[in-house]
Amino acid sequence: MSFSNMMISRLTKWKKISTTLFPPVYQQHKASLSSGSATAYIRKKSVPIPSAPGVPEPMVVQKSSDNFHLVGLRAFKEIKEAVEHMKDLNEKFKVDIKNNQLTIDTGAKGAFIFNLIEETQLLQVQSPYSGLFEYQYNPKENTWLSIVDNHDMRGLVTRDFVRYYVGCPKF
């Protein structure tokens, strides 16, 4: 079975499960006719859209760009400190923070790029191995969680570094 067929099968199965677990909710809305002589009731269907089973809803960050910027810079500092000890163990390992971007240049193997996107209040992580991911800050857990499946950003970074470099980030 191809990957796309597998995903279609899973989505179809999830749709069947979600409609049985979360039946549609009907709301009545009162509407008056222009003549005012009659009143009609309209049933409007609204369906709750749940998150995947076992995945908590993403947290909404306060829409304060100052707060977001401070939280993002704190994340950059945490990442930089976590990989700092690995510089001596790996060739051409360079860490640089400029503006809203943290770059960990690993030489011939590529670079990890962390971007703070203030418009959407997301942290984008570009890994030379795993690709592009976007994370939203969760203040309750004090961590950055994926907007797709809520995995912790530190897990992805740790996995990629352990797999391809000497040493392990110290988060």
How confident is the prediction along the chain (171 residues), in pLDDT tens digits per residue? 666 666 666 656 655 554 455 444 444 444 444 444 444 444 444 445 555 555 555 545 445 678 999 999 999 999 999 999 898 888 888 999 998 999 999 888 899 999 999 999 999 999 999 999 999 999 999 999 999 999 999 999 999 999 988 888 998
CA–CA dist 113, 97 (Å, integer)? 10
Instruction: Order across the sheet with 122-127: list the strands.
Output: 94-98, 101-105, 111-117, 122-127, 131-138, 143-146
Element (H, E) at 165: none
CA distance 6 to 19: 20
Q: Which residues contact 149 (CB under 8 A, 6 or more apart)?
A: 52, 55
The domains located in the chain, with CATH, are: 3-46 (no CATH), 65-164 (3.30.920.10)
Task: Give the count of alpha carbons within 13 A of 103, CB side only.
Answer: 10
- Tokens at residue 60, please? 């909404």
Residue at 119: amino acid letter: E
Q: Locate 53 and state its tokens.
A: 């089973």
Q: Shortest CA distance to 112 belongs to which of 74, 89, 86, 137?
A: 86
Helices 65-84 and 153-164, packing angle to 10 deg: 30
The pLDDT of residue 40 is 44
